[in-house]
Structures are given as C-alpha cells and as structure tokens.
Amino acid sequence: MSDSMKNSKKIYGPNPSFVENANVKKIDENLSIERFWEKEAERLHWFRKWDSVLEGEIPFTRWFTNGKINASYNCIDRHLNSWKKNKAALIFEGEPGDRAVYTYQDLYREVTKFSNVLKKMGINKGDVVTIYLPMIPQAVISMLACSRIGAVHSVVFGGFSSQALSDRINDSEAKLVITSDGYWRRGGIVQAKDRVDKALYETTTVDHVIVIQRSKNHIHMVKDRDYWYHELMDWAEIGCEAEAMDAEDDLFMLYTSGTTGKPKGVVHSTGGYLTGVSSTHHNVFDHKDEDVYWCAADIGWITGHSYIVYGPLSNGSTLLIYEGAPDYPAKDRTWDIVEKYSVSILYTAPTAIRMFMKWGEKWLENKNLSSLRLLGSVGEPINPEAWEWYYKNVGKGNCPIVDTWWQTETGSIMISSLPGINKMKPGSVCKPLPGICADVVDDKGESVPYGRNGYLVVKRPWPSMLRNVYKNTQRYVETYWSMFDGMFCTGDGAFKDEDGYIWVSGRVDDVIVCAGHNIGSAEVESSIVTHKSVAEAAAIGCNNAIKGLGICIFATLKEGEFPSRDLENELSEIIIAEIGKFAKPDKYFFAKELPKTRSGKIMRRLLRDVAEGRELGDTTTLLDVSVIDDFMTMDD
Ligand code: WTA
C-alpha cells in the first residue's frame, strides 16, 4: 500500500443532515441474504410471485424461480397510476444545445409504439436486437421497447468501429440493428450509419436496420433492409402489452469492454438483474423523487444499462442524458448542464474527474453547483487526490461521495459506502453492500488478514450476477468460477484495512512484480499524481534487459506543464518515499493523452508494447489510436 493511499487518513462524514433523510439509516444484521433480496424484490411489480428465492448450485443458480416480471413494465407502466405519470422521466440535452423532455406517459407512448414496430419487423421473444446509438432518448426507448416484448438487446457502444460492431453482431446472431444517421461530437457529425453499412457486409443474420434521424446528414438507405424510425413510428399504435417474462429469462447481453482478449457476451437475467439495480440505485444513490439524476456514462456500458436505464427508471427517477463531449463548446459544459437542470446526483468516472482536474478549477468557479447533494464514482480506483478534488470543487464539501465497485458481470453495485451510514475514506470503496458476501482471499482461497493484498472474490450468489457468457458456458465457468471452489473470481486485486474497508488495487493482471515485490499499478499511479504537474499516470511493469522487470511510467501533465529530467527525478523521489527504492521507475513517457478503452480504462497491454518497443497488439477497442504516436521520452 503506498503512502498516498495509506496516509489518506482523512475520514469524512456522514454528514448529519444527510443522515437524517437517508433512504438507508441502518442495516438489519439479522436478515439472511435470501430474505434481504426477497425484500428488495418486493419493491418491484411481479405479474406472478416467485416460488423460491434461490435455487441451484454455484455457478448455475437461479433467483426468484417461476416469478413473472417485465423490466419495461417496471420502468414505465408502474408509474402511470400515480402522480409520476406526468413527471419528467428523461431530460435530454443534445450537443448543439437542443433539448427534449419525456414524461413517464410520453415514454409509455414512445416505447409501446416502438415495441409494435419491432414486432411488425418480425422480432419475437428471445430474438437479439443490436442497438448502436448515441446518447439520445431513442437509445433508452429502444432498450425498453425490446425488453417489453422479450427481445434481448445487445447494445454496442456508438464509438466502436464497424469491425467491432460486426464481430458483436455475428457473435450474438442479431436479427435487427437500430442505429442513427449520425450524431454530434465536438461540433462535427459522426457517421454512424456508414459504419453499420460497412459492418453488415461482414454479417449474415441481420434482416432489417431501423435508422433514427438525428443529424440529418446524407446517408444511403438500402431498399427493403433500412427503414426510418420516424416513418415507422408514424403508423405505429400506442399500447403494447408487456410480455410476462420468467425471472430467469435473458434481459440483455453486453460485451465486456475487454482490455485483454476477445470480448465476452455477458448475459443478464430479468428478475434478478432488475432487483439488483433497482435496490442499489435506491440505497446507494439515496434516490428521492425530487432528484435530477445524471449518470454521465454511455448506454454502451453496463453503467448505462444499470444506472441510466433500469435502476433509475424502475425507481421513477428524473434522469438526464447528454449527447456530446464534455469540452464542447468549452470545458465547462458539464457544469453548465448541472446548473441548467439543477442536477442533484452526479455519477461519473475517475478518468473524467482527472480530466476536469487537468483542465483546472476555473471552469467551475462561477457555476452554481449548489443543487448537487450526492456524487458517485465508478470504473477504476479513484486516487485520493482526485477524490479530494471532486469532494471540494464539485461537492463543495457538502456531498457524500459513493465510490462504487462493480463490474459488467456483477450487474449492479457490490461494494460501496451507504451515504447515510458509512464514513468515507478517500480511495477506498468501503464495504460490501447488504446481501453481498465479498472478501479478499489468498491463492488458496483463505481470507487474508488486513493490510495484505489478495484476490477480490464473491462468496455467495447474488441476484444480478451474470448467468452465462453467450453461447460459451465453458468460458463462463473457466473465467469466473474455476480459480476458487464455489467463489466468483472478480479478477481484481484488493486489500482490507483494519476497519474492514476494501481498497481495490486494479486488475490482478496489472500487478507488477518488481525486485520480488508485488506492486499494484494503482499504488504507483496514486503516488505520482500527488505531484502538482501530473494530471494522470499509468504504471506498467516491463522487461528491462538488465534488471529483469522494471516499472515504466506513462504520464500526462496539467496544462502549462512540460516534461523535464527534473520532473522525472521529482516523481521518482515521490515513489521512493511513498513505496520504496525498489519501485523507482526505469523510464518515463509523457503524452497528451493515455490510450484508453472506449469506456475510459487505461490500456495497459498497449503501454507494455510501447515500453518494450514491440509492435502494437490489437487496438480495436482503443478510443483514439493516434494518442500512441504522441508519446515522448527524455531519452530519445
Ligand atoms: C474496475 C464497470 C476500483 C474494476 C462498472 C472492475 C473499479 C472493472 C471500480 C469493471 C471502483 C469498477 N474502484 N475499481 N469503484 N469500479 N472498477 O465491467 O477493475 O466496465 O473489475 O464495469 O472496473 O469494469 P466494467
């Protein structure tokens, strides 16, 4: 554990006025895990109640057996018999500044009409529909229209290339693709439909493409294959009965972002998944009817599925979605949106927070952010530096931060503070939520004492866990269930501190073994970013001809800062002081950006290639390939 993590001795909150009104004020320790989840499932509308809460043996457990439920019904219809009928369900802001608001009644109309369109297009229960859309309301509508009729959606992030898209269409055997003519990004139009056309040269299963008109750029429509959404919707009837799905029926599949290897189609169930996301959205985000809730993720990721669509809408939230880039037309767009819509809950990722830090405080100084009452973080370990910055500059010291640990595979948040109960330690994800039995174990599967690194595992099944890897049960079992008997292996490394708080150090594959020491990349990175000039850093273990394995640092600097030997020496001194001499980096690379997956995770595999002077491996999941060319070292 580096000193910047260990010495983040500051402990915050919980704030007494927040506690008073919190959704969860105490945990009932006497509830069994099954009874806990049963109570959470009772928050939803079931067409038929389950016979038993949990059946089967790991890794093939079933939740709420024989229960009948529909996700779209829970996200829409359930709210129509109350005052929420006319509540804003979805507030949309487009990048050019256009906006739209959909009430729950509006959502009902649009979703049921689109469900009828899908049916007319030959989509039946169990068919797979690929959704390749930007952050526009029709993305949410499409997902809910699929789940309403029992079609399984496979959302492919809109930034993916045609190659990545066709791979995912082929693996899932999708029958239909929903896309847009294009969308706005930094003032320009991204040609989404062209990519679909190209992808479909490589596929055989797709019969139809439905195209949403967003940017009005010229596109090619293939006769009898491509149809305009607005034309189909003109004729569609309002009202479409929600299919009573078995709790264990598939709700969707989602390909994991994959910093390594071939993407896996993670399959989620209907009843268990919805229970998990609805419960955690209520408990962790402390969601209230009056909130304006903004999860700034993309629907292409699990965060978008669970905490833009299914969690919030099942709880009757008012959610906000924004189409474009956070720096367009200027670097204050995020704060403008918070002010304009009076956002009260903001959920974003450490990579975004570090970017805001790099841009500087001046972009938020004259914004009124007083509507904010809770902040969230997800996707990577948040270094204490960034945590403090977020707490102070965005939350103004008044908003609890929930650092939520979970995965595409876990479906919903597993480890997080509960804002009305737990104290927060910057950099720690706190403790497993009620109903979740997560632990840190050694390579024999024994719980490790506090302070010692180990593997983060889950020891009991939970409702929103993945049910399979699409068409590849063997991969499902091998990847997640074969390392330890009866435990779900998350692939993350972590340790517990003396209070039982969990500190995630990153993917186990990212642990650097240097001079016989195990060094978590997150520890080194967390130290380096304490230097005033550094915005973001990645620490990579790389072969060193002389020493065996050494550490290479890839860093981006804050605006107005430049690389120099002195800077390198200062950074090395910090690492030596905080971790030890054995961790002194061999080499520094400076760049404008770090290569990241489209979901914002640093692609360490590529950095390793750069550090070792190898040809680059697969770059198809990379957000911006050109960043690789910008690396510079003081040695060249
Ligand atoms: C990492 C995103 C530290 C972790 C929801 C995990 C985190 C992977 C946190 C899953 C967090 C996610 N602190 N690390 N709060 N949240 N991670 O599937 O390595 O895109 O295994 O799901 O992100 O990424 P995924």
CA torsion sign, 615 to 616 to 617 to 620?
A: negative
Could you tell me if residue 636 is inside a domain? no
**Hunting for tokens 């004259």 — which residue is that?**
366
Calculate how far, in angstroms, residue 562's C-alpha sits from the geometric centre of ligand 1: 31
Could you tell me if residue 441 is inside a domain? yes
The answer to whether the CB of 404 is under 6 A from ligand 1 is yes
Q: Which of 535, 503, 505, 529 is nearest to 519 (CA)?
A: 505
Q: Which residues pair with 93 in a beta bridge?
A: 99, 322
Domain boundary among the residues 460, 494, 528 is at 494
The answer to whether the CB of 318 is under 6 A from ligand 1 is no
Mean predicted confidence (pLDDT) in 262-290: 96
Atom number in ligand 1 closest to CA 507: 19
630: confidence class by pLDDT, cuts 50, 70, 90 = low
Q: Give Cα separations from 287 to 45, 224, 404 (angstroms).
A: 19, 45, 15
Mean predicted confidence (pLDDT) in 2-13: 67
Helix 192-200 with 162-172: angle, nearest 10 deg = 50
Say yes or no to pLDDT of 636 above 50: no
Say yes or no to pLDDT of 621 above 60: no
- The answer to whether the beta carbons of residues 344 and 373 sit under 8 Å apart is yes
Report how far residue 484's alpha carbon sits from residue 447's, in angstroms, rounded to the nearest whole number. Answer: 12
Question: How far is C-alpha 555 from the chain's CA centre?
Answer: 24
- In this prediction, residue 592 carries a pLDDT of 85
Could you tell me if residue 635 is inside a domain? no
Q: Atom 14 (ligand 1): residue with closest C-alpha?
A: 380
The answer to whether the CB of 464 is under 6 A from ligand 1 is no
Calculate how far, in angstroms, residue 331's C-alpha sits from the geometric centre of ligand 1: 26
Report how far residue 106's alpha carbon sits from residue 389's, in angstroms, rounded to the nearest whole number. Answer: 39
Token output for 143: 């997902």
Domain of residue 42, residue span: 3-494
Say yes or no to pLDDT of 494 above 50: yes
Q: Are residues 524 and 410 in the same domain?
A: no
Q: Which of 490, 449, 419 is nearest to 17 (CA)?
A: 419
Token output for 302: 């699990």
Mean predicted confidence (pLDDT) in 105-120: 98
Could you tell me if residue 193 is inside a domain? yes
Domain count of the fold of the chain: 2
pLDDT, the chain, mean: 92
Q: Are residues 542 and 396 in the same domain?
A: no
Report how far residue 331's alpha carbon sits from residue 350's, in angstroms, rounded to the nearest whole number. Answer: 17
- In this prediction, residue 607 carries a pLDDT of 86
The answer to whether the CB of 598 is under 6 A from ligand 1 is no
Atom number in ligand 1 closest to CA 257: 20
Calculate how far, in angstroms, residue 408's C-alpha sits from the geometric centre of ligand 1: 8
508: confidence class by pLDDT, cuts 50, 70, 90 = confident
Indicate the top mutation candidate among 273, 380, 505, 599 to test ligand 1's pocket, ranked by most ligand atoms within 8 A of CB.
Answer: 380
pTM attached to this predicted model: 0.88
Let me know the angle formed at the C-alpha of 102 by 228 and 46, rounded to the nearest 5 degrees: 95
The number of beta carbons lying within 10 Å of the beta carbon of residue 122 is 11
Calculate how far, in angstroms, residue 407's C-alpha sits from the geometric centre of ligand 1: 5
Q: Are strands 99-103 and 587-590 parallel, antiparallel or unpaired?
A: unpaired
Report how far residue 215's alpha carbon sits from residue 182's, in angstroms, rounded to the nearest whole number. Answer: 5
Report how far residue 183's alpha carbon sits from residue 215's, in angstroms, rounded to the nearest whole number. Answer: 5
Token output for 612: 């070792």
CATH of the domain at 575: 3.30.300.30
The answer to whether the CB of 258 is under 6 A from ligand 1 is no
Q: Which of 462, 481, 139, 56 is nearest to 269 (CA)?
A: 462
The answer to whether the CB of 480 is under 6 A from ligand 1 is no
The answer to whether the CB of 92 is under 6 A from ligand 1 is no
Q: Atom 8 (ligand 1): residue with closest C-alpha?
A: 407
- The answer to whether the beta carbons of residues 286 and 23 sit under 8 Å apart is yes
Could you tell me if residue 231 is inside a domain? yes
Report how far residue 159's alpha carbon sits from residue 625's, in angstroms, rounded to the nearest whole number. Answer: 13
The answer to whether the CB of 410 is under 6 A from ligand 1 is no
Calculate how far, in angstroms, residue 297's C-alpha sits from the geometric centre of ligand 1: 13
The answer to whether the CB of 381 is under 6 A from ligand 1 is yes
The answer to whether the CB of 353 is under 6 A from ligand 1 is no
Domain boundary among the residues 447, 464, 494 is at 494
The answer to whether the CB of 494 is under 6 A from ligand 1 is no
Q: Are residues 111 and 154 in the same domain?
A: yes
Q: Give Cα separations from 179 to 77, 182, 215, 223, 631 (angstroms).
A: 26, 8, 12, 16, 35
pLDDT digits (tens, 9 = 90+) for 157-216: 888 888 889 999 999 999 999 999 999 999 999 999 999 999 999 999 999 999 999 999
Q: Which residues contact 295 (CB under 8 A, 6 or more apart)?
A: 303, 304, 307, 308, 312, 319, 347, 348, 376
Q: Are residues 336 and 448 in the same domain?
A: yes
Which backbone phi and psi does 626 adopt, to 5 degrees?
Answer: -65, -20
Detail the DSSP E strand segments found in 497-571. 502-507, 511-514, 517-520, 534-544, 548-557
Calculate how far, in angstroms, residue 379's C-alpha sits from the geometric centre of ligand 1: 4
Helix 521-528 with 565-578: angle, nearest 10 deg = 120
Q: Are residues 543 and 584 in the same domain?
A: yes
End-to-end CA distance of the chain: 33
Mean predicted confidence (pLDDT) in 137-144: 98
The answer to whether the CB of 255 is under 6 A from ligand 1 is no
- The answer to whether the beta carbons of residues 219 and 232 sit under 8 Å apart is no
Could you tell me if residue 553 is inside a domain? yes
Q: Are residues 453 and 533 in the same domain?
A: no
Q: Are residues 528 and 433 in the same domain?
A: no
Q: Which residues pair with 587 in a beta bridge?
A: 552
Q: Which of 158, 145, 128, 83 is nearest to 318 (CA)?
A: 83
Q: Which of 167, 200, 69 is nearest to 470 (CA)?
A: 167
Q: Are residues 442 and 554 in the same domain?
A: no
Q: Are residues 520 and 490 in the same domain?
A: no
Q: Are residues 176 and 293 in the same domain?
A: yes
Q: Atom 10 (ligand 1): residue with closest C-alpha?
A: 407
Could you tell me if residue 507 is inside a domain? no
633: confidence class by pLDDT, cuts 50, 70, 90 = low
Q: Are residues 335 and 400 in the same domain?
A: yes
Calculate how far, in angstroms, residue 406's C-alpha sits from the geometric centre of ligand 1: 5
pLDDT digits (tens, 9 = 90+) for 394-439: 999 999 999 999 999 999 999 999 999 999 999 999 999 999 999 9
Could you tell me if residue 508 is inside a domain? no
CATH of the domain at 85: 3.40.50.12780
Whether a cis peptide bond, with omega within 30° of 0, leads into 14 is yes
Name the range with the highest mean pLDDT among 163-177, 586-600, 605-619: 163-177
- In this prediction, residue 625 carries a pLDDT of 56
Q: Which residues contact 77 (CB under 8 A, 6 or more apart)?
A: 45, 108, 242
Domain boundary among the residues 432, 461, 494 is at 494
Q: Atom 25 (ligand 1): residue with closest C-alpha?
A: 407
Atom number in ligand 1 closest to CA 491: 21
Among 110-124, 164-178, 496-510, 614-628, the range scoring the smallest mean pLDDT is 614-628
The answer to whether the CB of 284 is under 6 A from ligand 1 is no
The answer to whether the CB of 252 is under 6 A from ligand 1 is no
Q: Which of 530, 501, 496, 525 is nearest to 512 (CA)?
A: 525
Q: Which residues pair with 511 in a beta bridge?
A: 520
Q: Are residues 489 and 600 in the same domain?
A: no
Q: Under DSSP, is residue 228 helix (H, G, I), strand (E, B) or coil?
A: strand
